[in-house]
Amino acid sequence: MGLIRLLISDPAAFVMLAVLLLYSVIFHELAHGWVALRMGDETAKWLGRLTLNPLKHLDPIGSLMLLFVGFGWARPVPVNLENIPAPQRRKGLILVSAAGVTANLLIAFFALLAWRLFSPEPGGMIYSVLYTLAYINILLAAFNLIPIPPLDGSKILMGFTPESVNRVLYQIEPFGFFIVLGLLLLGALNPVIAALQYGIITLISMFLPG
């Protein structure tokens, strides 16, 4: 794995990247909570989750997976859509669900923007940190866009689909982790993730200078 090689070859770069990656998943969850608050749901605020304190967000297994496998997660920020006024509920579901992915896209964009503007020396610490930071955030965004519960993509989809479809998706959600894990092990999601990554890179490239 690239992160393990980085730990062995450049421990300082690994530590810098580790902090940035951990805050990448923290910002992902903060974005959910912040947008929910803006829509009228104060659940995350009441539970003290609208904070940069990593102890409030980090999941031990998800953090280790992120640092040593290159993919992980933080503790989900609780959201109660019932607190959002009924006329805005579907809009709230879409915006709150899309907020985490948007946070990862912005982190990837600014990492690539810095990479483009400062042209760090290939193979150097800053080069490795910025490139890996952008790559993993693009991967996180792509993965979360998969429309299988409980991933964000399924919630975005629910904002557009009729209640009959949403009921099916809610019924699947308790088993969603195992469904996603099984599909990953079978390699069935690889083409989907690759296509989403390509689309995200294309989108980000449109806004990069040069």
The residues annotated with a catalytic role in the active site are 29
Q: Which DSSP helix (H) or strand (E) runs through 99?
A: helix 89-118
Shortest CA distance to 3 belongs to which of 87, 118, 128, 113?
A: 128
**What is d(CA 12, CA 18) in angstroms, rounded to the nearest whole number?**
10
Residue 28 CA, chain-centre distance (Å), reads 5
**What is d(CA 12, CA 15) in angstroms, rounded to the nearest whole number?**
5
Contact 50, 30 (CB under 8 A): yes
Tokens of 49: 């989750």
Q: How far is CA 124 from CA 8, 55, 112, 135, 136, in A?
A: 14, 31, 15, 16, 18
